[in-house]
Each structure stands twice: as structure tokens, then as C-alpha cells.
């Protein structure tokens, strides 16, 4: 087994970020600037890991001219890739940044359907990829016609190969994926509340919900809470984590940056406290960048002491 991280993006995209002075709904808007980047949560994770100097392989499905353009972007970014090509067209997502209010409006497409034969072929490909991996990350939405238990099945394959698994999904994909007991999960507060069907108004409530996940055999839980920081817990310790004040330019990719930092920390065998610092610093630095830009290693490590890590009650 190597030191490679696999990032699985079943529903990748090209992300087109458009900046306007002040978004006018149902009216003409003049574009200040525009940029296109490879997108999808798993691809964002791969980009972060590449910035951190990790050995990472991006995999999943691509289709059509957009898919080929996506692969070209990844090649230019020097991200190793091994995607399964299918019929159809990889989706394009649009993100409109309003400079006046400093907020982003996102328009995300569903993606193209994936036939059962392609799912079977991908499971075989993924099992082979796991032979050289230490960590596998499963994140993002599922394309049409892909069953909600696909992450669960892939997690099982990874675990059979001795690969640590990280799940970052929502809805039924999260619920089904948890049945295969991944090593780590990173829901945000809204995903965790939806999972348990109730509000979690305090960090103590969030920790109690995280404990329920830990009791199923999951080893590590990170719950991101936006401006309220995060709760990071394993079977022995728990921390409330707070970032420093920043001008938020875009939340796009902040959670993915946390997942990328987590995968990197697992490769390095870091302590839970260091994981808490790394993941929060990575998410914060990305939130301070415009559009779909992601954090860089140097700025993350230079920010670790700016992160406040407070022990919560022992579990």
C-alpha cells in the first residue's frame, strides 16, 4: 500500500465563476470578470491535496466535450487522473459573485445519467486503484440514475483493501454511506441536522450527535458550522474549533478544503488536535479567496496558531 489519496467524484463539473458589480435579477448584468475551473467536491479535494504536495489520484466519471475539457484542466494542474468515460456530457455549474454584497449565487446542474454497466465497470476500476492507496475520499452529489448506496459499496471495497475512507455527502447518499462505517465523516451542521431530523443549536448538541456516529464504529467526525467554527471528535477526545476573523469572499470549496486537509493529516498520522487546526485553517483560507480558488499549503501552515482549539468534555 502506498501513500496515495484517491478522490472519488462521481458528478464532476466545470465551474464557471462570474463576477458582477451588483447582481440584478431579471435584468441585464455586465460581467466584470469570469474564470473556469475544474469542479466537483472530490476534484476540489484533489486540488487541495496537490497544493499540499500529496500523492493524489482523481477518479470518477466524465462525459463528452466538457469532460475532456475537465481532464485538460486537471492535466494542466498536474493532478493525476483515472476517470471512466461515459456517454453524455459532464455538467457545467455557474457561480455568480456579487461584489456589492460579497455573496455568491450558485446554479448547479444535475449531471448526466450513468448506466448500470458503467457503475459496474467503475467499481472494478476503483478496486484496482485501491491497491496503491492509503486514503479514499468520497464526496459530492450523485448523478442521475446512480443508486444512493453507491458510496457504501465503494467504501466496502476500499476497506477490503485496507484503505481509510472519508465520506462527505448529504441526504440519502450520506445516510446509506454511513451504513458501511467509513473511517471519518465530515458533515456540515445542516447535513447533520437533516440526518438526525432535529435542530442542533449548541456545540454540546452537535457533539452529542457526533457521538452517535462514533458509537457506530466511525473513528473521526468533523462537523463544520460556518462562522461558528467546527466540532472535531474521536472516541477519546473532542474539540470546539474557532477560526480567526476574515473577510469571506466565497464559501465555495471551504468544506472541500477541510476534507483535503483531513486526508493529508491522516497520511501524516497527525493528532486529533492538529487535525482540528489543519482542517479549520484550510477551510478559513479558502473562504477568504474569491470564486473557486482554494487554499495553499504555506498559508494554511502559517495560520495554524490563529486557530482556537478548545477541549470539550471527554467522551
Q: How far apart are CA 305 and CA 2, in angstroms?
A: 31
Q: How far apart are CA 179 and CA 161, in angstroms?
A: 18
**Residues listed for the chain:** 315
Contacting residues for 30 by C-beta, under 8 A, at least 6 apart: 20, 21
> Annotated catalytic sites, by residue?
256
H-assigned helices in 63-196: 64-76, 116-129, 150-160, 171-178, 189-196
Contact 139, 169 (CB under 8 A): yes
* Percentage helix, strand, coil for the chain under 3-state DSSP, each rounded to 5: 40, 25, 35
Nearest-CA neighbor of 234 among 258, 255, 210?
Answer: 210
What DSSP element (H or E) covers 183? none
CA 34 to chain centre: 23
Amino acid at each position: 500500500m502506498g501513500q496515495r489519496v484517491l478522490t472519488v467524484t462521481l458528478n464532476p463539473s466545470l465551474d464557471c465563476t462570474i463576477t458582477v458589480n451588483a447582481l440584478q435579477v431579471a435584468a441585464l448584468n455586465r460581467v466584470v470578470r469570469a474564470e473556469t475551473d475544474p469542479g466537483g467536491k472530490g476534484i476540489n479535494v484533489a486540488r487541495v491535496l496537490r497544493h499540499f504536495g500529496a500523492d493524489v489520484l482523481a477518479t470518477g466519471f466524465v462525459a463528452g466535450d466538457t469532460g475532456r475539457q475537465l481532464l485538460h484542466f486537471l492535466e494542466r494542474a498536474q493532478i493525476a487522473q483515472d476517470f471512466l468515460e461515459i456517454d453524455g456530457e459532464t455538467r457545467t455549474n455557474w457561480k455568480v459573485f456579487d461584489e456589492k454584497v460579497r455573496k455568491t449565487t450558485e446554479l448547479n446542474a444535475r449531471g448526466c445519467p450513468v448506466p448500470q454497466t458503467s457503475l459496474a465497470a467503475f467499481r472494478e476500476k476503483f478496486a484496482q486503484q485501491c491497491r496503491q492507496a492509503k486514503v479514499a475520499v468520497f464526496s459530492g452529489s450523485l448523478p442521475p440514475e446512480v443508486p444512493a448506496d453507491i458510496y457504501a459499496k465503494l467504501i466496502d471495497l476500499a476497506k477490503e483493501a485496507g484503505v481509510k475512507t472519508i465520506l462527505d455527502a448529504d441526504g440519502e447518499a450520506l445516510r446509506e454511506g454511513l451504513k458501511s462505517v467509513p473511517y471519518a465523516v465530515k458533515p456540515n451542521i445542516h447535513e447533520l441536522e437533516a440526518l438526525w431530523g432535529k435542530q442542533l443549536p449548541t456545540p454540546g448538541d452537535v457533539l452529542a450527535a457526533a457521538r452517535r456516529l462514533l458509537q457506530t464504529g466511525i473513528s473521526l467526525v468533523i462537523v463544520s458550522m460556518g462562522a461558528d467554527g467546527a466540532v472535531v471528535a474521536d472516541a477519546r477526545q473532542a474539540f470546539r474549533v474557532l477560526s480567526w476573523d476574515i473577510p469571506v469572499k466565497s464559501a465555495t470549496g471551504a468544506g472541500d478544503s477541510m476534507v483535503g486537509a483531513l486526508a493529508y493529516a491522516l497520511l501524516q498520522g497527525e493528532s486529533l488536535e492538529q487535525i482540528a487546526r489543519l482542517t479549520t485553517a484550510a477551510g478559513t483560507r479558502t473562504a477568504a479567496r474569491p470564486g473557486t480558488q482554494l487554499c495553499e499549503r504555506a498559508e494554511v501552515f502559517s495560520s495554524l496558531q490563529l486557530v482556537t482549539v478548545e477541549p470539550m468534555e471527554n467522551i
